[in-house]
Amino acid sequence: MKISKIVINLGLIVVCGQLLFSLTGCANAALAVTDPRSLSTVTSDQYITRDLSIKYMGSEFESDHVSATVYNHEVLLTGQASSLAQRIKIVRTAKEFDSVQKVYDYVEISSKYVSTSSEDTYITGKVKSSLFGSGDINSNDVKIVTDKGVVYILGLIAKSQLENMINVTKSIDGVKKVVPLVHYKDSDSKLNLF
């Protein structure tokens, strides 16, 4: 009797495991349909983000507070570096990846770290809900990053959407500046690759 329960439980574990892996594939398929980037680009962006985060948390950058956001093989660097030499090293580290096509360097030099993360998180949430709530802009088309009240917009959008995105973002309390770092989608294809 005990052996049959063990066999049944093992069988259920195997079936649940297979179901979990197949559902992961469904999530990736859904992402591929709604994201203007190719699946390989999305995956590459995720790996670059992870690897840069690990590098920037290392001892070589312990006096710096840097965030790397990657979209469509482009890296946005924000935060603070302790010196000009460190800032140069931070940018150079991002450029080491073969698939990185461009690095946007918005890292400030400051010996004193000032955290505004809770305010920035709030602003990012407000921007996202304002932009994506209407349904006019797909959340996979852009990434929104806020650093010290400055909102950076990365993504692939229709040219007609940019002005509205900037105006909506500027209207949100706490936004000091909007920096659009976008590429325009081709009207005839899914996206305009560079």
Q: pLDDT tens digit string along 90-134?
A: 999 999 999 999 999 999 998 777 778 899 999 999 999 999 987
pLDDT value of residue 6: 54
Radius of gyration of the chain (CA): 21
| Residues linked to residue 8 through DSSP beta bridges, in sequence order | none
**Which CATH number among 3.40.50.720, 3.40.50.2300, 3.30.70.141, 3.30.1340.30 corresponds to the domain 117-184?**
3.30.1340.30
Considering only CA atoms, which of 179, 189, 180, 146 is closest in space to residue 161?
180
Give the start-to-end residue ranges of the domains of the chain: 1-34, 39-109, 117-184
CA distance 107 to 87: 7
Exposed, middle or buried by CB within 10 Å (0-12, 13-18, 19+), for 76? buried
Neighbours of 52 (CB within 10 A): 23
Task: Please choose, from the candidates 90, 98, 150, 73, the residue with its C-alpha nearest in 3D space to the C-alpha of residue 119.
Answer: 150
Give the 3-state secondary structure percentages of the chain, helix then strand then coil, rounded to 5: 50, 25, 30
Please tell me the class of the 39-109 domain.
alpha beta
DSSP state of 113: -
Shared fold status for 39-109 and 117-184: yes
C-beta separation of 83 from 156 below 8 A: no
pLDDT, tens only, 6-61: 545 545 555 555 555 555 444 444 444 578 888 999 999 999 999 999 999 999 99
Helix axes 39-56, 2-34, angle to 10 degrees: 100
pLDDT digits (tens, 9 = 90+) for 23-33: 544 444 444 45
pTM summary value: 0.77
